[in-house]
Structure 1
Amino acid sequence: MNQKQHAPGAQGKHTGAFYQVLYKGKEFYLNNNEFRVFSMLICGGQWATFDIAERLNIPDPRSTIRYLRKMGIDVADVWVHENKMRFKRYFIHGGDSVC
Protein backbone atom coordinates (compact mmCIF):
# COMPACT_ATOMS: atom_id res chain seq x y z
CA MET A 1 0.00 0.00 0.00
CA ASN A 2 1.19 3.43 -0.88
CA GLN A 3 0.60 6.14 1.66
CA LYS A 4 0.13 9.73 0.65
CA GLN A 5 2.77 12.07 1.97
CA HIS A 6 1.67 15.42 3.30
CA ALA A 7 3.72 18.56 3.51
CA PRO A 8 4.92 18.88 7.10
CA GLY A 9 3.57 21.80 9.06
CA ALA A 10 1.50 23.30 6.23
CA GLN A 11 -1.72 23.85 8.12
CA GLY A 12 -3.83 26.83 8.98
CA LYS A 13 -4.48 30.23 7.48
CA HIS A 14 -1.02 31.61 8.27
CA THR A 15 0.73 29.46 5.65
CA GLY A 16 0.97 30.33 1.99
CA ALA A 17 0.82 33.67 0.23
CA PHE A 18 -1.07 35.96 2.59
CA TYR A 19 -0.78 39.65 3.35
CA GLN A 20 -0.36 40.63 6.98
CA VAL A 21 -2.50 43.69 7.75
CA LEU A 22 -2.69 45.63 11.01
CA TYR A 23 -6.14 47.24 11.35
CA LYS A 24 -7.41 48.89 14.53
CA GLY A 25 -4.76 47.15 16.61
CA LYS A 26 -5.55 43.66 15.31
CA GLU A 27 -3.54 41.52 12.96
CA PHE A 28 -5.27 40.00 9.92
CA TYR A 29 -3.98 37.62 7.27
CA LEU A 30 -5.66 38.32 3.93
CA ASN A 31 -5.42 36.45 0.65
CA ASN A 32 -4.87 38.37 -2.60
CA ASN A 33 -8.52 39.25 -3.35
CA GLU A 34 -9.27 40.14 0.28
CA PHE A 35 -6.21 42.39 0.40
CA ARG A 36 -7.10 44.15 -2.86
CA VAL A 37 -10.70 44.82 -1.77
CA PHE A 38 -9.54 45.91 1.71
CA SER A 39 -6.99 48.30 0.19
CA MET A 40 -9.58 49.82 -2.12
CA LEU A 41 -12.12 50.34 0.68
CA ILE A 42 -9.60 51.67 3.22
CA CYS A 43 -8.37 54.34 0.74
CA GLY A 44 -11.69 56.12 0.98
CA GLY A 45 -14.74 56.65 -1.12
CA GLN A 46 -17.90 54.60 -1.36
CA TRP A 47 -17.78 51.80 -3.90
CA ALA A 48 -20.60 49.83 -5.49
CA THR A 49 -20.06 46.14 -6.22
CA PHE A 50 -19.92 46.75 -9.95
CA ASP A 51 -17.23 49.44 -9.42
CA ILE A 52 -15.12 47.06 -7.35
CA ALA A 53 -15.64 44.19 -9.79
CA GLU A 54 -14.67 46.33 -12.78
CA ARG A 55 -11.65 47.94 -11.15
CA LEU A 56 -10.17 44.83 -9.50
CA ASN A 57 -11.40 42.24 -12.00
CA ILE A 58 -13.18 40.22 -9.30
CA PRO A 59 -16.40 38.50 -10.44
CA ASP A 60 -18.41 39.02 -7.23
CA PRO A 61 -16.80 41.17 -4.52
CA ARG A 62 -19.74 40.70 -2.13
CA SER A 63 -18.41 37.32 -1.00
CA THR A 64 -14.98 38.84 -0.36
CA ILE A 65 -16.63 41.63 1.66
CA ARG A 66 -18.55 38.98 3.60
CA TYR A 67 -15.25 37.22 4.48
CA LEU A 68 -13.69 40.52 5.58
CA ARG A 69 -16.64 41.19 7.87
CA LYS A 70 -16.48 37.67 9.27
CA MET A 71 -12.80 38.24 10.18
CA GLY A 72 -13.75 41.36 12.13
CA ILE A 73 -13.00 44.17 9.68
CA ASP A 74 -15.70 46.86 9.85
CA VAL A 75 -16.96 47.19 6.29
CA ALA A 76 -19.94 49.57 6.29
CA ASP A 77 -22.56 49.97 3.59
CA VAL A 78 -25.35 52.31 2.58
CA TRP A 79 -28.30 51.76 0.26
CA VAL A 80 -28.32 54.11 -2.73
CA HIS A 81 -31.13 54.89 -5.18
CA GLU A 82 -29.85 56.09 -8.57
CA ASN A 83 -31.42 55.93 -12.04
CA LYS A 84 -34.34 53.82 -10.81
CA MET A 85 -31.88 51.29 -9.37
CA ARG A 86 -31.25 50.34 -5.75
CA PHE A 87 -27.83 49.04 -4.68
CA LYS A 88 -25.28 49.21 -1.86
CA ARG A 89 -22.08 51.17 -1.66
CA TYR A 90 -19.34 49.78 0.61
CA PHE A 91 -16.67 51.65 2.56
CA ILE A 92 -14.48 51.55 5.68
CA HIS A 93 -14.74 54.48 8.11
CA GLY A 94 -11.65 56.54 8.79
CA GLY A 95 -9.54 55.11 6.02
CA ASP A 96 -8.81 58.32 4.09
CA SER A 97 -5.52 59.05 5.90
CA VAL A 98 -3.96 55.66 5.10
CA CYS A 99 -3.41 56.16 1.34
Structure 2
Amino acid sequence: MDEAKLILLLSDGGRHSVIEIVKRLFIVDPRAVIRNIRNRGVNVSDEWVKTPSGKKYKLYWIDQKRPEYYGDELHRTD
Protein backbone atom coordinates (compact mmCIF):
# COMPACT_ATOMS: atom_id res chain seq x y z
CA MET A 1 0.00 0.00 0.00
CA ASP A 2 2.83 2.41 0.82
CA GLU A 3 4.38 1.72 -2.59
CA ALA A 4 1.17 2.59 -4.44
CA LYS A 5 0.68 5.84 -2.48
CA LEU A 6 4.29 6.87 -3.02
CA ILE A 7 4.23 6.07 -6.74
CA LEU A 8 1.16 8.26 -7.16
CA LEU A 9 2.76 11.14 -5.23
CA LEU A 10 6.07 10.93 -7.11
CA SER A 11 4.17 10.89 -10.41
CA ASP A 12 2.29 14.13 -9.71
CA GLY A 13 4.80 16.31 -11.58
CA GLY A 14 6.48 17.68 -8.46
CA ARG A 15 9.73 16.89 -6.71
CA HIS A 16 9.45 15.68 -3.15
CA SER A 17 11.84 15.47 -0.19
CA VAL A 18 11.86 12.65 2.36
CA ILE A 19 10.46 15.00 5.02
CA GLU A 20 7.58 16.01 2.74
CA ILE A 21 6.81 12.36 1.95
CA VAL A 22 6.77 11.48 5.67
CA LYS A 23 4.42 14.38 6.46
CA ARG A 24 2.04 13.83 3.53
CA LEU A 25 1.88 10.03 3.40
CA PHE A 26 2.88 9.01 6.94
CA ILE A 27 5.50 6.61 5.56
CA VAL A 28 8.13 6.12 8.27
CA ASP A 29 11.06 5.25 5.94
CA PRO A 30 10.38 6.60 2.42
CA ARG A 31 13.90 5.76 1.22
CA ALA A 32 13.28 2.05 1.83
CA VAL A 33 9.99 2.24 -0.08
CA ILE A 34 11.74 4.11 -2.93
CA ARG A 35 14.38 1.36 -3.02
CA ASN A 36 11.63 -1.30 -3.26
CA ILE A 37 9.89 0.63 -6.03
CA ARG A 38 13.15 0.90 -7.96
CA ASN A 39 13.76 -2.84 -7.50
CA ARG A 40 10.37 -3.43 -9.15
CA GLY A 41 11.59 -1.53 -12.22
CA VAL A 42 10.02 1.90 -11.66
CA ASN A 43 12.40 4.70 -12.67
CA VAL A 44 12.47 7.02 -9.66
CA SER A 45 14.68 10.04 -10.39
CA ASP A 46 16.48 12.02 -7.72
CA GLU A 47 18.78 14.98 -7.32
CA TRP A 48 20.79 16.45 -4.49
CA VAL A 49 19.85 19.96 -3.33
CA LYS A 50 22.19 22.10 -1.26
CA THR A 51 20.75 24.69 1.12
CA PRO A 52 22.41 28.09 1.66
CA SER A 53 23.74 26.78 4.98
CA GLY A 54 25.49 23.89 3.19
CA LYS A 55 23.14 21.07 4.20
CA LYS A 56 22.14 18.60 1.48
CA TYR A 57 19.01 16.57 0.85
CA LYS A 58 17.48 14.70 -2.07
CA LEU A 59 14.34 15.35 -4.07
CA TYR A 60 12.54 12.41 -5.69
CA TRP A 61 10.10 12.17 -8.61
CA ILE A 62 8.90 9.91 -11.44
CA ASP A 63 9.07 11.26 -15.01
CA GLN A 64 6.10 9.63 -16.70
CA LYS A 65 2.38 9.72 -16.93
CA ARG A 66 0.61 8.77 -13.73
CA PRO A 67 0.74 4.98 -13.30
CA GLU A 68 -2.31 2.95 -12.41
CA TYR A 69 -2.00 0.40 -9.65
CA TYR A 70 -4.12 -2.78 -9.69
CA GLY A 71 -3.47 -4.96 -6.65
CA ASP A 72 0.16 -6.02 -6.86
CA GLU A 73 0.64 -5.03 -10.50
CA LEU A 74 1.77 -1.65 -11.78
CA HIS A 75 0.34 -0.56 -15.15
CA ARG A 76 1.64 2.47 -17.01
CA THR A 77 -0.96 4.68 -18.68
CA ASP A 78 1.18 5.95 -21.54
- 1:35 corresponding residue in structure 2: 4
What is the alpha-carbon root mean square deviation over aligned residues?
Answer: 1.5
- 1:87 corresponding residue in structure 2: 57
- 1:53 corresponding residue in structure 2: 22
Note the residue ranges of structure 2 that are not aligned, 5 or more in a row: 67-78
Note the residue ranges of structure 1 that are not aligned, 5 or more in a row: 1-31
CA distance in 1, matches of 2:21, 2:64: 19
Per-residue deviation at 1:94? 2.9
Equivalent in 47, 50, 54 of residue 78 of structure 1: 47
CA distance in 2, matches of 1:42, 1:93: 7
Per-residue deviation at 1:82? 1.5
CA distance in 1, matches of 2:2, 2:64: 21
Which structure carries more helix by proportion?
2
* Greater relative contact order (CA < 8 Å, ≥ 6 in sequence): 2
SS in 1 for 2:42: coil
Sequence identity of aligned pairs in percent? 34
Displacement over 4 Å in runs of 4+: none
